[in-house]
Amino acid sequence: MGDFPEVLSLRKRKSVVVDSFPVMRDAVAKLLQQHRLADVVEKFDTAHSAFEGCLQLRPDFLITDVDLGGSRMGLDLCRSLKRLDAPPQVMVFSSTSAPNIVADCISSGADSFVHRSADPAYFVTAVQAMIGDRPVWYAGKDHEASIDVACIGPNIAQALTNREQEVLALLLQRYSNPEISTRLFLARQTVKNYVSSILQKLELSSRHELLTTYAEISCR
């Protein structure tokens, strides 16, 4: 067995960075290269050029903003990539962490979400975790927590209404019903109804089971 070359160890990890702003593209690409997270890093400024580039490069992972010259084009890119036979892992690196955006990332099939308030060391750790199949959902310093999403995928998220997805995003950040009511401008009973509907659709019995099944939250 020892006479065979270790082909797998020689395989180069390839990545793609997509952002409308050159400075941000270059900064993210530099971090990936400096920390040896990828051997090949290609940069694109639009969803269309990135998708065409991915068809040629077949990257292992991709990092994109939510908006790429058009509203939520980054999420459209994610959905298109996830339809490929061998889709790359996708991290959304965004300056907004609004609940509806986070919910849309989940339903689009994104593997990780990192808010741009994260410091470089945390960003690098998050990419390393995603590469190791441990998706990280970090909503920003205001939330003081990162969320590892283990099981939620597009099929589950698509079973929920847009409002239910917004409520789910806050549930995964351990917001209470009164806090969700305040953030989404909903009556508390309405929030309670949404939570019950979400649990029923996910076939779970309680909020505790939701968190233990789908997320492990650890403060930074």
Residue span(s) of the chain under CATH 1.10.10.10 come to 154-214
Chain segment 92-143, per-residue pLDDT in tens: 999 888 877 887 888 888 988 999 988 899 899 999 989 988 878 887 766 5
> Is the per-residue pLDDT at 1 higher than 50?
no
Task: Read off φ and ψ for residue 46, nearest 5 degrees.
Answer: -135, 160
Chain segment 74-106, per-residue pLDDT in tens: 999 999 999 999 999 999 999 888 877 887 888
Residue span(s) of the chain under CATH 3.40.50.2300 come to 8-149
Domain 8-149: homologous superfamily in CATH: Response regulator (3.40.50.2300)
Angle at 145 between CA 111 and CA 176, to 5 degrees: 100
> Is the per-residue pLDDT at 3 higher than 60?
no
Joined tokens for residue 184:
């989404």
- Please report where in the chains the tokens 């779970």 appear, as a residue: 204
Chain segment 40-84, per-residue pLDDT in tens: 999 999 999 999 999 999 999 999 999 998 789 999 999 999 999
| CATH, domain range 154-214 | 1.10.10.10
**pLDDT band with cut points at 50, 70 and 90 for residue 2:** very low
Mean pLDDT over each residue of the chain, to the nearest integer: 84
pLDDT at 166: 78
> Is the per-residue pLDDT at 220 higher than 70?
no
Across 98-107, 150-159, 202-211, the highest mean pLDDT is recorded for: 202-211
If one compares 147 and 176, the residue with the highest pLDDT of the two is: 176
Task: Find the mean pLDDT for residues 137-159.
Answer: 61
**pLDDT band with cut points at 50, 70 and 90 for residue 169:** confident
pLDDT at 216: 47
Chain segment 15-42, per-residue pLDDT in tens: 999 999 999 999 999 999 999 999 999 9
**pLDDT band with cut points at 50, 70 and 90 for residue 173:** confident
Stated as kind and residue range, the H or E segment containing 12 is none
The CA distance from 213 to 68, in Å, is 33
pLDDT at 8: 40
DSSP lists the bridge partners of residue 41 as 15
Give Cα separations from 144 to 115, 119, 141 (angstroms).
12, 13, 5
Which residue, 129, 122, 212, is CA-closest to 172?
A: 212
* Amino acid identity for residue 196 in this structure: S
pLDDT at 156: 67
3-state helix, strand, coil in the chain (%, to 5): 50, 15, 35
pLDDT at 10: 61
> Is the per-residue pLDDT at 144 higher than 60?
no
Q: What is the DSSP string of 115-169?
A: ETTS-HHHHHHHHHHHHTT---EE--TTTT-EEEE-S--HHHHHTS-HHHHHHHH
The CA distance from 171 to 107, in Å, is 16
